[in-house]
């Protein structure tokens, strides 16, 4: 709009081709524009994970922490999921299926019955669904799965909002779309009302506790009295500024212990972790990193460090 008002001449912008016509104006893109404008040499060849190829979960997203723990705990697991920003878990192998909204729970039950028909041993099935999708379409599938005696782990990724479609509040928040107050409806109450007996609530930022809960859930579903285990992985969406400002912020760095294995890129895919091709090692992009500290759990050589709190 500003370019159009100023007219066609003398403006370095989208019209002149100096600014890309598509894509986000991320810090690296703006740096490139400024370097060209100021006649400075090109930036060093630091390449973001899969940069320019596909979108990824936000830096510091709690879903990534949950997905990482699920993949690490059950590398041969079957992982049905659903529609939301968490579908992006597909990028790093944490989501196997995505069909119509709410289908993931029915798929999990179907996979269980198909595999169990071949004998007592069955692959671990971990179904993931977002909190708003669960409210919208998850309940009938869960009731049926409990009633039919399916055995799988259901992880409800609860970020306390409907992030993908514009942060509409969920019934658990107690605020209607017009801002008025509504009577809250709680996910744990709904899960218990569906007949689920094994229910745990954990913040997935605590990767060790979440991993322990996954293992406990797997033991439950395989026990004689077991059926469905539900974990509520609760961590607020980090796009929610108030929630982000309320959490600890660590000063992150990667030490010389980095051996360039790319595990933090390929198995974790935080957009704040870049790979320096020239030096063959990972780096933290301090402009994107929110200092959540979760990536320290990922590096096999303990090269990623989280220190103190910047806040
Ligand atoms: S920081 Fe760790 S996980 Fe990432 S490339 Fe280096 S050694 Fe591998
Ligand atoms: S601390 Fe690690 S996981 Fe968290 S945003 Fe920064 S680079 Fe990503």
Domain ranges of the chain: 26-54+248-311, 62-241
Residue 206: other Cβ atoms inside 10 A: 16
Q: Which atom of ligand 2 lies at the shortest distance from residue 59's CA?
A: 5
Give the residue whose CA is nearest to atom 8 of ligand 1: 261
- Which pTM value belongs to this model? 0.84
- The CA 269 to ligand 1 mean position distance, Å, reads 12
Give the residue whose CA is nearest to atom 3 of ligand 1: 299
The per-residue pLDDT for range 12-68, each reduced to its tens digit, is 888 888 999 888 788 888 999 999 999 999 887 665 444 445 689 999 999 999 999
Q: Is the CB of 294 under 6 A from ligand 2?
A: yes
Q: Is the CB of 262 under 6 A from ligand 1?
A: yes
Q: Is the CB of 59 under 6 A from ligand 2?
A: yes
Low-confidence ranges of the chain (pLDDT < 70): 8, 45-54, 309-311
Q: Is the CB of 259 under 6 A from ligand 1?
A: yes
- The CA 66 to ligand 2 mean position distance, Å, reads 14
Residue tagged 């996979």 (tokens)? 111
- Relative to the alpha carbon of 60, which ligand is closest? 2
Specify the pLDDT at position 121: 84
58/289 Cα distance (integer angstroms): 10
Run of H or E including 220:
helix 207-222
Q: Is the CB of 295 under 6 A from ligand 2?
A: yes
- Relative to the alpha carbon of 298, which ligand is closest? 1
97/71 Cα distance (integer angstroms): 14
- The CA 47 to ligand 2 mean position distance, Å, reads 16
Q: Is the CB of 143 under 6 A from ligand 1?
A: no
- The CA 99 to ligand 1 mean position distance, Å, reads 34
- The CATH architecture of the domain made up of 62-241 is 3-Layer(aba) Sandwich (3.40)
Specify the pLDDT at position 53: 54
Q: Is the CB of 299 under 6 A from ligand 1?
A: yes
Give the residue whose CA is nearest to atom 2 of ligand 2: 295
Q: Buried (b) or exposed (e) across 120-158, using 16+ Cβ within 10 A?
A: eebebbbbbbbbbbbbbbbbebbeebbeeebbbbbbbbb
The full 3-state SS of 236-296, as one line of letters, equals CCCCCHHHHHHCCCCEEEECCCCCCCCHHHHHHCCCCEEEECCCCEEEECCCCCCCCCHHH
Q: What is the DSSP string of 90-129?
A: GGGTS--EE-STTHHHHHHHHHHHHHHTT-S----BEEEE
Q: Is the CB of 301 under 6 A from ligand 1?
A: yes
Give the residue whose CA is nearest to atom 6 of ligand 2: 289
Specify the pLDDT at position 14: 87
Q: Is the CB of 261 under 6 A from ligand 1?
A: yes
C-alpha closest to that of 165 among 140, 205, 128, 131: 131
Give the residue whose CA is nearest to atom 4 of ligand 1: 264
Query: Which SS3 state, helix, strand or coil, does residue 78 take?
Result: strand
Specify the pLDDT at position 47: 53
Q: Is the CB of 264 under 6 A from ligand 1?
A: yes
Specify the pLDDT at position 48: 47
The answer regarding whether domain 26-54+248-311 maps to CATH 3.30.70.20 reads yes
């Amino acid at each position: 709009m500003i370019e159009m008002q100023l007219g066609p001449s003398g403006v370095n912008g989208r019209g002149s081709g100096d600014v890309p016509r598509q894509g986000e104006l991320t810090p690296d893109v703006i740096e490139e524009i400024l370097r060209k404008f100021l006649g400075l040499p090109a930036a060093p060849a630091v390449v973001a994970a899969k940069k320019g190829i596909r979108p990824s979960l936000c830096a510091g997203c709690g879903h990534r922490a949950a997905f990482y723990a699920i993949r690490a705990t059950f590398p041969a697991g079957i992982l049905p999921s659903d529609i939301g920003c968490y579908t992006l878990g597909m990028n790093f192998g944490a989501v196997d299926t995505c069909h119509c909204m709410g289908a993931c729970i029915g798929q999990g039950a179907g996979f269980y019955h198909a595999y169990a028909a071949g004998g007592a041993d069955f692959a671990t099935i971990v179904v993931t669904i977002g909190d708003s999708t669960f409210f919208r379409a998850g309940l009938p599938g869960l009731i049926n799965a409990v009633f039919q005696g399916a055995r799988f782990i259901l992880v409800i990724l609860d970020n306390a909002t409907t992030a993908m479609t514009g942060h509409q509040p969920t019934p658990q928040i107690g605020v209607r779309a017009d801002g008025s107050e509504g009577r809250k409806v709680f996910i744990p109450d709904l899960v218990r009302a569906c007949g689920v007996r094994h229910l745990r609530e954990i913040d997935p930022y605590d990767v060790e506790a979440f991993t322990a809960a996954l293992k406990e859930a797997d033991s439950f579903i395989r026990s004689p009295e077991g059926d469905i285990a539900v974990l509520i992985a609760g961590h607020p969406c980090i796009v929610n500024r108030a929630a982000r400002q309320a959490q600890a912020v660590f000063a992150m760095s990667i030490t010389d212990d980095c051996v360039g294995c790319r595990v933090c890129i390929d198995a974790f895919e935080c957009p704040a972790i870049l790979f320096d091709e020239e030096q063959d090692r990972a780096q933290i992009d301090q402009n994107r990193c929110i200092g959540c500290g979760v990536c320290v759990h990922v590096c096999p050589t303990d090269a990623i460090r989280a220190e103190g709190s910047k806040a």
